[in-house]
Structure 1
Amino acid sequence: MFGKSCSLIAALIAAISIGSSAAASGLMGDTALDAALAAGGPSGEGGPNTGGSGFHLTLLHINDHHSHIEANSGELVLGGDDSVTVDVETGGFPRVVAEIEALRSRNANVLTLHAGDAVTGTIYYSLFKGEADASVMNQVCFDAFELGNHEFDDSDAGLAQFLGYLNADPGSCQTPVLGANVVPALGTPLHPDAATELVRPYVVKEVGGESVGIIGLDIAHKTKVSSSPLDSTQFLDETETAQRYIDRLTAMGVDKIVLLTHYQYENDLAMAAKLRGVDAIVGGDSHTLLGERFADFGLNPAGPYPTRVRDLDGNLVCVVQAWQYSDVVGELHLNFDEAGHVSGCSGTPHLLLGDTFERDDAALEGADLQAVLDLIAATPELDIVEPDAATQSIVDYYAQDVEVLKTSLVGRATENLCLERIPGQGRSSICDARMTQANGGDIQQLVAYAYLERSFEADVAIQNGGGVRIDIPAGDISINDVFTLLPFANTLANLRMTGAEIRQVLEEAVSAFQDVEDGSTGAYPYAANLRWDLDLSQPFGSRFSNIEIRRKGATEWSALADTDQVTVVTNDYLAAGGDGYATFETVSEDGRMVDTYIDYAQGFIDYLQQDLGGAAAGDPILAAPPQVMPVACSDYSTQTFIDAEGQLQLPDPAYPRVCE
């Protein structure tokens, strides 16, 4: 087991101050609120108070922090020349806590919200299974937390364990966990008995004498097909569920209603137009950066913060999201009229920055530094934030153990798994180039098959050879080895493509180094459930032949037709057109890409442990590391290879292939 015991972390937390919740009382779900209202309970005990006019509410929110509790590194344009960038530390949960506390102190009537996907994505989840995330989240003590799809990556039992960490101390922080359209079966980890439900549809908060209802929604289809919930856990339609609970709260007299969603920005906008009675939507899942000013700093905002839309009755609905990875804290201000409708909204997405700025690996000084500081001081969206000391102590506590625990073994290679890009190129440090001259790298091939299994939806996988960085020698494979093998902050993305588009993107990948001076051979493609013959001596468009596909779950190969409809999993770097994969970018821009936000290194660990080792989602790391073998020679993506000089590269009997 790699999570610390509750007693150890409790001892640490006892020595430091826990961030208190907003001054608001709350009742979760149906039973408690319904009972209080039926009894005519006073508003301070959960009954609604809808009187007054000009009520102002502030919502502070984050989403999709994905176990990024340490600070990130960022690159921003902070000057007049958009070609000159500055490197700066961004985010990290200690800065999130500090920023939220600062904003709390400057505003009245504050609620703090987390819109889901708190976990998975870094080694902190791989090792501590949500305990580290819960510990830092409790420094904020969110007024509500909505489940995201990745909360189900270790199934319902893994989620229940995380929620146990989150609400471990009844005398301290208790965070309402929401999911109105998530319906666990009785007797399962999230609903173990009739009296215990870990997930509730809504919470009502009493703030400044007003009742504010918060309804949670998770993205249903994506959670079912891309994560690992129990088959018995139901995921209901998001819009229908939202309206049902809006109507329920409205009937109770609650007229200020916020949807806390993990449903994607564009979906939130579309849903708002189909509803009646919602005032604001605080969202997640699409990792959307809002705030048009961010374009000035080299970032890519998707719209204004807040985004204003109208519901079915023409009433204003304010929609927000706060990017990703603990980098941004959203500050949304809502003004309500006497009828409980939003009369106006405004706000600021705060990008959290460190206080050291570098250019070309040298710290800025003098006039250059002052120019950056002056720009930040004049820009509400940019905040230099000193990390909260207490939260930093928690992060440091876990970080110490990361160095020890990442030596944990997750697999055992039966043979050397050779690194290669172009077949026979000689990139391996442990294998003779003649071992890879016919089919290419063994470890790249294995990684492609791991992607295929962890995507859940894809028919085939395509990976660039340069995205895999080291050989894996025969013997033990540690967590540290995996993060060295796959060191980039990449996620798995599913693209819906035609056979013709697949053929085109393969040609583009090879052209990126074959037809471009100083092009990167890291673009060389590797695939799972897709294989081909390749002739580098031919011109663009004629290099790939005999392309065959084996649909996921099938045993037979068949010719890839141009009209075939295929789901392809790749990494998000390639999905954005990296390494010359231009057709991937076109497909993404056409709206046919879904980022799963499954970290590719974590996905490889899960492949070793679950797909090869038989562990269930949420199980501790297996005591006996599973055997890791190369894929069958017939499953390698490059079946025959002719080099640029027109020479067919056959296996060398004196240097047998690893797959033989």
Structure 2
Amino acid sequence: NSAPCTSEAAASGKCFGGVARLRTKVKEIRSKYPNTVLLDAGDQFQGTLWFYKFGGLPAATFMNIIRYDAMAIGNHEFDTKVAGLVPFLKNVTFPVVSSNMNLSKTQALQGLIKPSTVLEIGGQKVGVVGYTTLETAFISSPETVILTDEISAIQAEVDKLKSQGIDKIIALGHSGYATDLEIARRITDVDIVVGGHTNTFLYNGTAPSNEKPEGVYPTVVDSQDKSHKVLVIQDYAYGKYLGELHVTFDDQGKVTSWSGNPVLLDNSVPQDSETLEVIQSYLPELELLKNTTVGRTNVDLMADRLQCRSKECNLGNLLADAYMAANIFMPRDDSWNEVSMAVVNAGSFRASIKTGPITIESAIFIHPFRNTLDIITVKGQTIKDMFELVASKWTTEIGELYGGFLQVSGLHILYDMTRPKGSRVVQIKVTCTKCSVPKLELLNLNKEYKLLCSSYIYKGGDGFQMFPASILKKQIIGKIDTDVFIDYVKSHSPITTGLQGRIRHVQDLDDLDLTPCEQRPAREQEVNKTRVTQWVNKSHPVGQQDFPQPTQMVIELKKTKPKIQASRE
């Protein structure tokens, strides 16, 4: 998982990764294989105390120290908009690439991001073509940057490189494993695909930690014309592994052999002392934030991806309740408050927290994106459309889980996912506002309602394209979601939020029996206990973001034998 390393975890050898370990391993491999390429597939931004305090500049500093050769742009690079990305790009000492970005309307990025780059390795030229997920437009804030189809953009750039006599080409990008495989199959003359975004773990043999491989390393794909093999790699997430791939090319630039595996960066890898000194220079400011306790929780607050992106989860309930609590105003004659419901997209909270103290650091890990919270007025039909969109994207496939799945406060939703898309919302109940005692009422499709949500959602993020056109009125509150969460923890500690039946599925109604346990047959109690245990014990990825993993790649040329090592984080 992506939580910070505690002193207890460090003492027991349960901490992984970190730039100091990464630099040690990269230096070790470079000493064995001088012709090394170090690549990063994007998502250096977001989700840490470092980013909260300093933005992307520490990432630039450490990537320069480690001496990356090239980097792709991930969706999280735009989480602080174009203005937040520019300082990072101006400070890195290596090329940043994305072939499917149209920057014609984004002057600030022109010249800072290139479609591709050519690396000189052991007297040989290696082309690196970048690409970025089209989802960026919906799940981040690229503003005027236009994302185009990856396949056509990559092919056009590959053709340019081929015309320059470059016959060894790597596609480096951030669009997910399925797209990586499609690129390998469909792009003519690509030899290796280094990907990110879905945090896919590939491995040969017995995995060294608790990740379960989704395939072999590398995944080997036949090119479209069957003329050569294309190697596809991803290396999980959070800096836990350094991917290492050795590849041999013949004189025509065709892959002839390969080997490798992700290397676990555990406590057996020493931390580079020079890098630790640089880290130390940042710590005084970080410690002030890190050690500030804002409250405590008496319950585990779960951000399990499968649960929170397909069902109700208690962390989602807590965040939505925090939004509501921050927007309780003076009552009017006919209403107890002007807004009675809030939604929070599951992709906006990134890490679980165990029972115990909640610090500013852990709060930022949980809810890092710092969107504003505002009130919009919409018709009941728009609210239904919003939840129908959620239902249309519902899945329990780990790699396809929808970050826009909405957790709620002041709403009860009943889904039937066996129905056709567009008719899966069985019932919506909303909390009344024009009432002296708040209670749930059936949604009226023709009535106007006020909804509290993040600016990210009402600007169309996560595919909510019914916004902003369907917004009748917008009331800018401007409170920052992360700050609202921290304030709520301060005022409501200890936290005891649980599951409350806010989101239900018709198929799970048996699980919602409210009969007291002591009145049920002993056998039924045991079944229910087993059912809950099985759910809790399922292992699914939990983390603050889809940090890609470094990939170390060794490329051997048949005659000259220079070795090229590539890494992607």
Gap change, CA 1:108 and 1:87, over 3 Å in 2 = closer
Aligned to 2:137: 224
Equivalents in 1 of 2:232, 2:173: separation in Å? 10
Partner letter of residue 242 of structure 1?
A: I
Partner amino acid for 1:386?
Answer: P
Matched, 1:332 2:245: yes
Query: Of the candidates 522, 531, 534, which is equivalent to residue 412 of structure 2?
Result: 531
For 1:90, what is the secondary structure of its paired residue?
coil
Aligned to 2:212: 300
Distance 2:388 2:154 in 1: 29
| Equivalent residue runs for 1:108-507 within 5 Å | 108-164=34-90, 166-167=91-92, 174-186=93-105, 188-191=107-110, 197-220=111-134, 222-230=135-143, 232-295=144-207, 297-314=209-226, 315-354=228-267, 384-405=268-289, 443=318, 445-447=320-322, 455=345, 479-480=360-361, 482-483=363-364, 498=391
Partner SS state of residue 109, structure 2: coil
| Unaligned stretches of 5+ residues in structure 1 | 1-64, 76-85, 168-173, 192-196, 355-383, 411-416, 422-439, 473-477, 488-493, 503-524, 534-544, 551-555, 562-568, 570-595, 597-609, 631-635, 647-660
Contact 1:92 1:326 in 2 (8 A): yes
Alignment RMSD: 5.1
In the alignment, the residues of structure 1 paired with residue 320 and residue 480 of structure 2 have an alpha-carbon distance, to the nearest angstrom, of: 23
The answer to whether the 8 Å contact 1:470/1:485 transfers is no
For residues 25-57 of structure 1, give each alpha carbon's deviation from its aligned partner in whole angstroms, at most 9, with x where no partner exists: xxxxxxxxxxxxxxxxxxxxxxxxxxxxxxxxx
Q: Paired residue for 2:25?
A: 99
Q: CA 1:614 to 1:312, structure 2 compared with 1: closer, same or farther past 3 Å?
A: same
Q: Deviations over 1:362-415 (max 9, x none)?
A: xxxxxxxxxxxxxxxxxxxxxx210111111222222321112458999xxxxx
How far apart are the structure 1 equivalents of 2:251 and 2:57?
43
Quick check: 1:177–1:200 contact (8 Å CA) kept in 2?
yes
**1:548: which partner in 2?**
428
Using structure 2 for the length normalisation, give the TM-score.
0.58
Paired residue type of 2:94: T
Sort the Cα spacing of 1:98 and 1:642 in 2 relative to 1 into closer, same or farther, 3 A: closer
Q: Deviations over 1:233-280 (max 9, x none)?
A: 110101111111111111111111000111112221122111110010
For 1:255, the aligned partner's letter is D
CA distance in 2: counterparts of 1:72 and 1:224, whole angstroms: 39
Q: Is the 8 A contact 2:39 2:69 kept in 1?
A: yes
Flag the 1:71–1:409 CA change in 2: closer, same or farther, 3 A.
Answer: closer
The answer as to whether partners of 1:291 and 1:303 remain within 8 angstroms in 2 is: yes
Whether contact under 8 Å (2:353, 2:362) holds in the other structure is no
Contact 1:117 1:147 in 2 (8 A): yes
Q: Are 1:289 and 1:321, in contact at CA under 8 Å, matched by a contact in 2?
A: yes
Q: Give the direction of change, closer, same or farther, for the CA distance of 1:291–1:147 in structure 2 (3 Å limit).
A: same
Please say which structure displays the higher CA radius of gyration.
1
Separation in 1 of the partners of 2:142 and 2:222?
34
Contact kept? 2:242, 2:263, Cα under 8 Å: yes
Q: Secondary structure at the match of 2:64?
A: helix
Q: Does the CA contact (< 8 Å) of 2:177 and 2:196 recur in 1?
A: yes
Q: What is the alpha-carbon distance in structure 1 between the residues aligned to residue 230 and residue 25 of structure 2?
A: 26
Q: Give the % identical residues.
A: 28
Query: Residue 448 of structure 1: CA displacement?
Result: 7.6
Shift of 1:454: 6.1
The DSSP-based 3-state class of the residue aligned with 2:211 is coil
**How far apart are 1:181 and its partner, in Å?**
0.8
The separation in 2 between residues aligned to 1:346 and 1:69, in whole angstroms, is 32
Partner of 1:348: helix, strand, or coil? strand
Instruction: Specify which structure has the bigger relative contact order, considering alpha-carbon pairs within 8 angstroms and separated by 6 or more residues.
Output: 2
Deviation at 1:132, TM superposition (A): 1.8
8 Å Cα contact 1:419/1:442 also seen in 2: no
Q: CA deviation at 1:558?
A: 5.4
- Counterpart of 2:478 in structure 1 is 613
- The residue identity in structure 2 corresponding to 1:613 is G
**CA separation in 1, counterparts of 2:297 and 2:502?**
15
Name the CA distance, whole Å, in 1 between partners of 2:51 and 2:158.
34
For 1:446, the aligned partner's letter is: D
Aligned to 1:156, the other structure's residue is in SS state helix
Measure the CA separation in 2 of the matches of 1:72 and 1:143. 34
User: Would you say the 8 A contact 1:470–1:484 is kept in 2?
Assistant: no
Give the match for residue 448 of structure 2: none
Contact 2:320 2:343 in 1 (8 A): no
Rate the CA distance shift 1:88–1:482 in 2: closer, same or farther, 3 A: closer
Letter in 2 for 1:259: A
What does residue 53 of structure 1 align with?
Answer: none
Deviation at 1:645, TM superposition (A): 5.4
Provide the rounded CA distance (Å) in 1 between the counterparts of 2:344 and 2:148.
24
Q: Which amino acid aligns with 1:530?
A: L
Does the C-alpha gap of structure 1 residues 498 and 549 become closer, same or farther in structure 2, counting only changes over 3 Å? farther
Shift of 1:445: 3.9
Q: Shift of residue 299 of structure 1? A: 2.4
Q: Deviations over 1:338-358 (max 9, x none)?
A: 21111122222111110xxxx
Label 1:529 to 1:154 Cα distance change in 2 as closer, same or farther (>3 A).
farther
How many residue pairs align between the two structures? 396
Instruction: For 1:236 and 1:441, locate their aligned partners in 2 and report how far apart those are by CA, in whole Å.
Output: 33
Alignment of 1:622-633 (within 5 A): none
| 1:296 Cα deviation from its structure 2 partner | 6.4
CA contact (8 A) 2:320 2:342 kept: no
Q: CA deviation at 1:188?
A: 3.5
Asked if the contact 1:72/1:89 (under 8 Å) is kept, the reply is no
Partner-residue secondary structure (3-state), 1:117: coil
Amino acid in structure 1 at the alignment position of 2:34: A
Amino acid at match of 1:88: K
- Alpha carbons of 1:528 and 1:344: their partners in 2 closer, same or farther (altered >3 Å)? farther
SS in 2 for 1:288: coil
328-337 or 449-458, larger mean C-alpha shift: 449-458
Distance 2:426 2:408 in 1: 14
Where do 5+ consecutive residues of structure 2 fail to align? Answer: 300-314, 327-340, 369-386, 396-405, 415-424, 431-439, 446-452, 454-461, 463-474, 493-499, 504-511, 518-569
8 Å contact kept, 2:342–2:408:
no
TM-score w.r.t. structure 1 length? 0.51
Whole-angstrom CA distance in 2 between matches of 1:616 and 1:161: 24
1:203 aligns to what SS in structure 2?
Answer: strand
CA distance in 1, matches of 2:388, 2:266: 33
Shift, 1:637, TM fit: 7.4
1:643, 1:482 → 2: CA distance? Answer: 33
Asked if the contact 2:184/2:231 (under 8 Å) is kept, the reply is no
Letter of the aligned partner of 1:268 in structure 2? D
Are the structure 2 counterparts of residues 129 and 454 from structure 1 closer, same or farther at C-alpha, using a change threshold of 3 Å? farther
Distance 2:44 2:177 in 1: 17
Q: Distance in 2 between matches of 1:257 and 1:93?
A: 27
Deviations 1:79-107 (A, max 9, x none): xxxxxxx8532111100111001000101
